[in-house]
Structure 1
Amino acid sequence: MSDVQKAMALLIESFSKYAGKEGDNLTLSKAELKELLQNELGDLLGKANDKAAVDRIFTSLDANQDNSVDFKEFVNMVSCLTVMCHQYFHQSAKK
């Protein structure tokens, strides 16, 4: 597999690791999202322990307002974070 294919497989695997612990294995509940944020993105999102911050993240990710985060909504978050990291590292390299 190419590096991009490996990254895609890891995203699917990471989502699946947390989805369905509380029901539907195709979506993340708020508690499942919080656990994912803490365990997988804790370094980037240091406020994953802050209930209000998790609530805001969950609400902003839940684009279709079905009170869960599906894979597409999850990937949108990862994509946005990746773009932000890319911009940060690109700007840092210029200094």
Structure 2
Amino acid sequence: MGWGEVRSRVGPITQRVPPAVGAMASQLEGAMETLINVFHHYSGKEGDKYKLSKKELKELLQSELGCFLETQKDTGAVEKIMQDLDENGDGEVDFQEYVVLVAALTVACNTFFWENA
């Protein structure tokens, strides 16, 4: 199943579902909350508060994935990432596009670590 198929099945999430009062979050729920919080920490500093501008994306990548970017010898890596993620061509990265990046990096890391273990 490809990302496009997954995205079409899940569709946009139109409302927030708060965790049950007093319930402890699972590791996965905590990870999802972190992904959401990281995105919104960087989004909306300029322009649309629900999207990352190129500058905001660069700041997120440098702060949150600095080690990954350091290994990239291509000085245009952020520009290429932005072009690859910006599926709708609006010059910004929305939450769904951001999740695609995180998922792709997670798959790559999983492959690397499990094949080299």
Q: How high is the sequence identity, in percent, across the aligned residues? A: 49
Relative contact order: is structure 1 or structure 2 higher (C-alpha 8 Å, sep ≥ 6)? 1
Tell me the alpha carbon deviations over residues 19-42 of structure 1, each in whole angstroms, 9 at most, x when there is no partner.
000121100000000000000011
1:23 to 23, 47, 60: 47
Question: Structure 1: which 4+ aligned runs deviate by more than 3 Å?
Answer: none
Bigger helix fraction: 1
Aligned to 1:33: 57
Distance 1:10 1:49, change over 3 A: farther
1:65 to 89, 92, 102: 89
Which one has the largest radius of gyration? 2
Unaligned runs of 5+ in 1: none
The count of residues paired between Structure 1 and Structure 2 equals: 92
What is the CA distance between 1:77 and its match in structure 2?
0.3
Secondary structure of 1:44 counterpart: helix
TM-score (norm 2): 0.75
Unaligned runs of 5+ in 2: 1-24
